[in-house]
């Protein structure tokens, strides 16, 4: 059973784990610092060396070149900086897996402090926005400049993140906005009055609190500029974007198209619910945007 290759590979894995754990230690919170295979079939990684594993991959597959590169990187981990972490998933990364339809449900405000929910993983995010009465091309009403982010995992989402141990959600959302957007809390502070809604997922054992923060257009421009200098910019945060809230003449481009992207957690719902709650959209307008978004574009044209 025991041979030098498996032993060396175990050592490599341990080294990867140690590096990842030390990087993510602040984020791990109460969760055990253990890592597990990305999917069940990857337990192959335990019983085969990386080259054995990759040589077994189908020839001429779409991923062949990339796979070889990854295999090379994994083999290099003992001597180089290739991170070789493909196939491994940190415990808290499970939270970011694609949500099933209706996975997140509303958590009424009076239940938030119940031990059942407080003892789960909690996170807080925020929609920073400015109302804007201008028009794009003199035609499409901007309504509001709403900030979202492209995240490291490819999803769109709001700035924010996991609560530290013992931290409340409003403190966490301010801290995360400093980290992810270089938010100036000396001039802008999110308060309990900005709280909007909470949701939870039984499957992910995750509770998500949501805040809004309204500023002027000029302030928003400053926030956008500062965000480029944020600690997490270029790492966890790949960019701040304004959401197009108008629907173009083809009844698809603009907001409906934007909503057809992939969104983390229930952030798509948080966006729509907050636009509705703060009267940027009426319920009818939201409904027609949703119809256009899920509809077949060729029929709508
Ligand atoms: P990581 O620990 O690296 O993920 O960073 P973080 O502390 O900044 O946490 P993150 O913002 O990723 O939020 C933690 C979890 O909350 C994610 O794994 C998602 O499941 C969920 N999440 C992230 N962003 C949003 C968002 O904008 N809205 C909602 N509803 N959920 C989100
Ligand atoms: Mn975050």
Question: Ligand 2 centre and the CA of 61: distance in Å?
Answer: 34
Residues 194 and 258 in one domain: yes
Nearest listed ligand to the Cα of residue 181: 2
Ligand 1 — pocket residues by CB below 6 A?
Answer: 27, 92, 95-96, 123, 125, 157-158, 160-162, 176, 206, 208, 236, 264-267, 270
Nearest listed ligand to the Cα of residue 267: 1
Residues 56 and 136 in one domain: no
Residues 269 and 179 in one domain: yes
Distance CA 24, CA 22 (A): 6
Q: In percent, how much of the chain has pLDDT > 90?
A: 63
Nearest listed ligand to the Cα of residue 162: 1
Residue ending a domain, among 48, 70, 96, is 96
Which CATH number does the domain housing residue 211 bear? 3.90.79.10
Q: Nearest-CA neighbor of 220 among 243, 202, 237, 238?
A: 243
Question: Ligand 1 centre and the CA of 11: distance in Å?
Answer: 31
**pLDDT category of residue 296 using cuts at 50, 70 and 90:** low
Residues 286 and 176 in one domain: yes
* Closest ligand 1 atom, residue 204 Cα: 20
Token look-up 């079939």 returns 41
Asked whether residue 16 carries a pLDDT value surpassing 80, the answer given is: no
Asked whether residue 79 carries a pLDDT value surpassing 80, the answer given is: no
Closest residue to atom 11 of ligand 1, CA basis: 161
**Per-residue confidence (pLDDT) for residue 289, from 0 to 100:** 94
Residues 180 and 49 in one domain: no
Question: Ligand 1 centre and the CA of 164: distance in Å?
Answer: 13
Angle at 187 between CA 181 and CA 191, to 5 degrees: 80
DSSP letter (8 states) at residue 264? S
* Closest ligand 1 atom, residue 152 Cα: 3
Closest residue to atom 13 of ligand 1, CA basis: 161
Residues 73 and 190 in one domain: no
Residues 129 and 247 in one domain: yes
Are residues 297 and 250 in contact, defined by beta-carbon separation less than 8 angstroms? Answer: yes
Collapsing DSSP to helix, strand or coil, 37 comes out as strand
**pLDDT category of residue 87 using cuts at 50, 70 and 90:** low
Token pair in block for residue 35 = 């890592």
* Closest ligand 1 atom, residue 267 Cα: 28
Residues 79 and 196 in one domain: no
Residues 159 and 253 in one domain: yes
Nearest listed ligand to the Cα of residue 96: 1
Query: Per residue in 206-222, pLDDT tens?
Result: 999 999 999 999 999 99
Are residues 83 and 77 in contact, defined by beta-carbon separation less than 8 angstroms? Answer: yes
Distance CA 294, CA 214 (A): 29
| Structural domain range at position 44 | 4-96
**Per-residue confidence (pLDDT) for residue 92, from 0 to 100:** 73
Are residues 212 and 129 in contact, defined by beta-carbon separation less than 8 angstroms? Answer: yes
Residue ending a domain, among 49, 78, 96, is 96
Question: Ligand 1 centre and the CA of 258: distance in Å?
Answer: 20
Residue ending a domain, among 96, 119, 138, is 96
Residues 85 and 144 in one domain: no
Least confident interval from 64-78, 192-206, 217-231, 280-294: 64-78
33 vs 226: which has the higher pLDDT: 226
Q: Report how far apart, in Å, the C-alpha atoms of 193 and of each of 97, 104, 172, 176, 212 are.
A: 31, 23, 15, 18, 9
Question: Ligand 2 centre and the CA of 69: distance in Å?
Answer: 29
| Count: domains in the chain | 2
Residues 87 and 207 in one domain: no
Are residues 16 and 77 in contact, defined by beta-carbon separation less than 8 angstroms? Answer: yes
Asked whether residue 77 carries a pLDDT value surpassing 60, the answer given is: no
Residues 210 and 267 in one domain: yes
């Amino acid at each position: 059973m025991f041979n030098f290759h498996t032993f060396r590979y175990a050592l490599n894995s341990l080294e990867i784990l140690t590096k990842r754990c030390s990087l993510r230690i602040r984020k791990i919170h109460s969760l055990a610092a253990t890592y597990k295979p990305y999917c069940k079939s990857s337990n192959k990684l335990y019983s085969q060396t990386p080259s054995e594993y990759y040589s077994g991959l189908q020839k001429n597959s779409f991923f062949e070149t990339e796979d070889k590169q990854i295999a090379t990187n994994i083999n290099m981990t003992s001597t180089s900086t290739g991170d070789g972490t493909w196939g491994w998933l940190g415990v808290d990364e499970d939270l970011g897996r694609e949500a099933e339809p209706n996975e997140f449900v509303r958590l009424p405000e009076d239940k938030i402090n119940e031990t059942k929910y407080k003892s789960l993983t909690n996170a807080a995010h925020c929609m920073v926005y400015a109302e804007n009465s201008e028009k794009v091309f003199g035609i499409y009403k901007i309504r509001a400049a709403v900030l979202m982010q492209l995240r490291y995992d490819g999803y769109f989402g709001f700035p924010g993140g996991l609560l530290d141990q013992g931290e409340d959600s409003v403190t966490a959302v301010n801290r995360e906005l400093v980290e992810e957007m270089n938010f100036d809390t000396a001039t802008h502070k999110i308060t309990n009055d900005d709280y909007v809604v909470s949701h939870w997922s039984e499957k992910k054992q995750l509770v998500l609190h949501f805040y809004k923060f309204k500023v002027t257009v000029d302030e928003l421009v400053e926030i956008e500029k500062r965000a480029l200098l944020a600690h997490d910019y270029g790492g966890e945060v790949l960019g701040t974007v304004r959401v197009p809230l108008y629907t173009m003449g083809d009844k698809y481009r603009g907001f409906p198209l934007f909503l057809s992207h992939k969104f983390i957690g229930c952030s798509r719902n948080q966006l729509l619910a907050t636009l509705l709650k703060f009267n940027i959209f009426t319920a009818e307008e939201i409904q027609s945007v949703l119809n256009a978004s899920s509809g077949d574009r060729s029929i709508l044209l």
